[in-house]
Amino acid sequence: MSNLIRKSVQALTAYTPGEQPDDPGVIKLNTNENAYPPPPVVGERLRSMDSASLKLYPNPVSGSLRNRIAEIHGCASDEVLLGNGSDEVLALCTRAFVENDGSIGYFDPSYSLYPVMADIRDVEKRPVLLGEEFEWRMPEGYSCSLFFLANPNAPTGILYPKEIVSDFCRSFDGIVVIDEAYVEFSSRHCIELAMEFDNVLVVRTLSKSCSLAGLRLGYALGNGELVCALHKVKDSYNLGAIPQLLGLAALSDDGLAHVRENVRRIKDSRERLKERLAALGHKVYPSETNFVWTEPSAMEAGELFQRLKDQGILVRYFPGERTGTCIRITVGTDEEIDKLFEAMSEIEAKGNEV
Ligand SMILES: Cc1ncc(COP(=O)(O)O)c(C=O)c1O
């Protein structure tokens, strides 16, 4: 049987998504979802939807939503591609821009899906080790066909300096995909680089800032020729009618006002979370996202992760040389964060008694 499966697929270690427990009592601070519900206008649009319209195929290029996104970013509609979550958009990039003998680059550590995407395409991986403090470090003469640049980075939360990113895009020969999944929680974005350089795309998602991870909506912005290539390799109807409709609601003026308010609350909570972690003695990295990357001092990160899990609090732990000393905590509601600290203080106090 197994010889009917491609060798590269047999050898493939699939991406491990963060846990999605069925128990609603679990405090989920592990997958960087938004702490707050989506704009009310999304629910209203869903309730008023005529299910009879579902007998038709959806618009193949998500036309109205695409126009709205173009309007928001001040670009042309043919510079926008919509996808089933930004994960799909990233996968389309590996299909459109990487030859079979090409290569895919990314920082280490960064979004752990990137190497899996290279393995799915069965092409060479060219990871670049970040510096000691997870800062930007690019070796002289580095090259690859497609570089995935998460900015701000995950799981570290760090935003790279704009000039460095801009110089990299200018001098790089391959395609640069700037993955801005968390950019709404940060102080600056790179859209103008996608507009300026022919080899740069910016990818965004509605999963984080718009609280719509369950809807699956992401998009790429950039040079029309690159965007046209992505359209050629996507499934005909890659976005259902419901995501198109609700995405439009979320990105309406009303929806965006609500999103901005949620983002502001999360950024405030993030600063409080960082202060409280630092007060517990953790090393806290400078986050420009809706999560915090932190190195506990009282016990090993893996142990703290497990003990929190035993108490019904999920954070994210990535074992491994570069990541295994830290945990990543999604910024939850203030109540969730209070519970996290109650549990953490108790665990660390017990840990110290042993
Ligand atoms: C850096 C980064 N890019 C992309 C994604 C995927 O987002 P989406 O839900 O749009 O597929 C994530 C999800 O956690 C992420 O961390």
b/e code 208-226 from CB counts within 10 Å (16+ = b): bbbbbbebbbbbbbbbeeb
Distance 205 CA to ligand 1 centre (A): 7
Residue 223 near residue 200, CB atoms below 8 Å: yes
| Probe residue for ligand 1, chosen from 32, 87, 112, 148 as the CB with the greatest number of ligand atoms within 8 Å | 87
Across the chain, mean pLDDT equals 96
**Distance between CA 91 and CA 95 in Å, rounded?**
7
How many angstroms separate the alpha carbon of residue 92 from the centre of ligand 1? 14
Token duo for residue 319:
């074992």
Residue 287's closest CA among 183, 163, 131?
183
Cα(114)–Cα(280) distance, rounded to whole angstroms?
A: 33
Q: Which of 92, 208, 289 to mutate to test the pocket of ligand 1 (most atoms within 8 A of CB)?
A: 208
Identify whether 353 is part of a domain: no
Task: Summarize pLDDT for 138-190 with one digit per residue, the tens.
Answer: 999 999 999 999 999 999 999 999 999 999 999 999 999 999 999 999 999 99
48 and 11, same domain (yes or no):
no
Distance (angstroms) between ligand 1 centre and the Cα of 67 equals 23
Average the pLDDT over 102-111 and give the result.
Answer: 98
| Ligand 1 centroid – CA 42 distance (Å) | 21
Give pLDDT tens digits for 193-226. Answer: 999 999 999 999 999 999 999 999 999 999 999 9
Q: Which of 254, 288, 310 is the last residue of a domain?
A: 254
Give the domain CATH number at 239: 3.40.640.10
In this structure, the answer to whether residues 233 and 303 fall within a common structural domain is no
Phi-psi region of 92 (alpha: psi -120 to 50; beta: other; left: phi over 0): alpha
Q: Are residues 103 and 221 in the same domain?
A: yes
17 cis-preceded (ω within 30 degrees of 0) = no
Is the same domain home to 168 and 123?
yes
- Is position 205 within any domain? yes
Domain match, 74 and 199 both: yes
Confidence of residue 298 (pLDDT cuts 50, 70, 90): confident
- According to the model, what pLDDT value does residue 353 have? 61
Would 177 be classed as within a structural domain? yes
In a domain? residue 354? no
The domain containing residue 227 runs over which residues?
40-254
Gap from CA of 207 to ligand 1 centroid (Å): 7
CA-nearest residue, atom 3 of ligand 1: 181
Which of 19, 69, 108, 111 has most ligand 1 atoms within 8 Å of its beta carbon, as the pocket-test mutant?
111
Q: Structurally, how many domains does the chain consist of?
A: 2
Å from CA of 86 to ligand 1 middle: 6
Using the 3D structure, point to which of 222, 254, 286 is the last residue of a domain.
Answer: 254
What pLDDT sits at residue 1? 61
Atom of ligand 1 nearest to the CA of 90: 4
268 confidence band (pLDDT: 50, 70, 90): very high
Percent of the chain with pLDDT over 70: 99
DSSP 316: B
pLDDT of residue 354 exceeding 60: no
CATH number at residue 266: 3.90.1150.10
221 within a domain of the structure (yes/no): yes
